[in-house]
Amino acid sequence: MKDNIPDGLRELLEQAAGAGQAPWRTLLRPGDWLLLLCCAALVATSFPLLWRGGVADRAIVKRDGQLVTELALNVARKYEVTGAIGTTVIEVQPGRARVLSDPGPRQYCVQQGWLTRANAVAICAPNHVTLQLAGRGGAHAGYDTINY
Amino acid sequence: MPAMTPSTIELPVTADDYRIARYAAAAIALSVAETALPSPLPGIKPGLANIIVLVVLARYGWRDAAWVSLLRVVAGSLVIGQFLAPGFFLALAGALCSLAVLAAAQHLPPRFFGPVSASVLAAFAHIGGQLLLARAWLVPHDGVFYLLPLFATAALLFGTINGLVAARLLAKPSTEPPAP
């Protein structure tokens, strides 16, 4: 097979493959290796750091737009809010929160299930109660349920 | 009809000008050729023109490298019809940042740091400048920084490759044609 290639073409191919040149690794000096390793480590750590932004760390419960309480999302607990037509029960577990029960007729906020992302909102309109998650960087970081 | 008066303005052209023009032409050709490559994300591209900037920096110093880099940004954007479009300003911000970093990087001890280091540092400065301008002007939201890991990965990869190519070009003796 090798003999079938004309001499001119073979020479060209060998040149393209780097014949007669210093191998690639000799082009790197000690400091280059060090810098490349440092940069690779920095880039690798930037992935989790920057993609953690959407994680919620507290739940904000409001009634009629007024803040009722803020619950940290690190311990499991239940919280009851008395609204316009009854009692809404909020359940918190590490990293997530949901509306466990609500007196509203259509149960939209209950059926939404667990909220996990920062700025996700469950609105129990009949009872005038809202549950919102908040993360790092305040209420304006990232998207909320409505403009997701 | 009166005879044309010969122009009294004469622009002296030095050997420096020819050299810079020649390298800038190579850089412009590379950056125009690069626009034909598909890109997974706007802003991620190999930056092949930076190979020329690195070679000029090592051979002729920072002033020539700055000329080549900025001529590449202006003329390259004219060729592809992006002059004064957002992409032009992003490229300009990236080029200015990477030139600033290269000005510092050329003082690294040459025994330990070669063109690959300069290339990687310049690549990071390039995305840094672009992201900061994009954050300040085009996307006034911290969301642009979520893309930083992707841009940084691309900068590391292409910075290394461009640096290796520049190092190999620099390992050969310069074949400089005489100025006309």
User: pLDDT per residue over A21-75, tens digit each?
Assistant: 777 778 889 999 999 999 999 999 888 766 665 677 889 999 998 998 988 888 8
Domain check: are A60 and A128 in the same one? yes
- pLDDT confidence tier of residue A148, bands split at 50, 70 and 90: very low
Kind and range of the H or E run holding B168:
helix B148-171
Interchain pair A46, B116: CB under 8 A: no
The 8-class DSSP code of residue B137 comes to: I
Q: Is residue A144 part of a domain?
A: no
β-pairing verdict for A66-72 and A77-82? unpaired
Classify B15-171 by CATH class.
mainly alpha
| Residue in A27, A37, A45, A119 to test binding to B, most B beta-carbons within 10 Å | A27
Q: Do B167 and A27 touch (CB under 8 A)?
A: yes
Do A44 and A62 fall into the same domain? no
**Per-residue confidence band for B39, with pLDDT thresholds at 50, 70 and 90:** confident
Residue ranges covered by each domain of chain B? 15-171
A143 pLDDT band (50/70/90 cuts)?
low
Say whether pLDDT at B145 is over 90: no
Spatial CA neighbour of B57 closest among B103, B24, B109, B110: B103
- CATH assignment of the domain containing A87: 2.60.320.10
User: In this predicted model, what pLDDT tens digit does every residue of A63-109 receive, in sequence order?
Assistant: 998 998 988 888 888 999 998 999 999 999 988 899 999 998 999 99
- Higher-scoring residue by pLDDT: B97, B7: B97
Q: Do residue A74 and residue A115 come from a single domain?
A: yes
Is residue A28 included in any domain, yes or no? yes
Q: What's the pLDDT score for residue B101? A: 96
Q: Please state the φ and ψ torsions of residue A69, each to the nearest 5 degrees.
A: -160, 160
Question: Is the pLDDT reported for residue B50 higher than 60?
Answer: yes
**DSSP 8-state class, residue A136:** T
Under an 8 A CB cutoff, do B164 and A29 touch? no
Distance CA B50, CA B68 (A): 10
Model confidence over B57-100: pLDDT tens digits?
999 999 999 999 999 999 999 998 989 988 899 999 999 999 99
Residues of chain B positioned with their CB less than 8 A from the CB of A35 = 113, 116-117, 120-121
**Are residues A33 and A62 located together in one domain of the fold?**
no
**How would residue B1 be classed by pLDDT, with cut points 50, 70 and 90?**
low
Beta pairing, strands A56-63 & A87-93: unpaired
Q: How many domains does chain A have?
A: 2
Residue A81 and residue A39 share a domain: no
Q: Are residues A66 and A129 in the same domain?
A: yes
Domain match, A62 and A129 both: yes
Q: Which domain holds residue A98?
A: 56-135
To the nearest whole Å, the CA of B173 is away from the closest chain A CA by: 12
Residues contacting A49, CB < 8 A, separation 6+: none
Q: Are residues A6 and A36 both part of a single domain? A: yes
Q: Using CB atoms and an 8 Å cut-off, which of residues 38-67 of chain A contact chain B?
A: 39-40, 42-43, 46-47, 50-51, 53
pLDDT at A52: 62
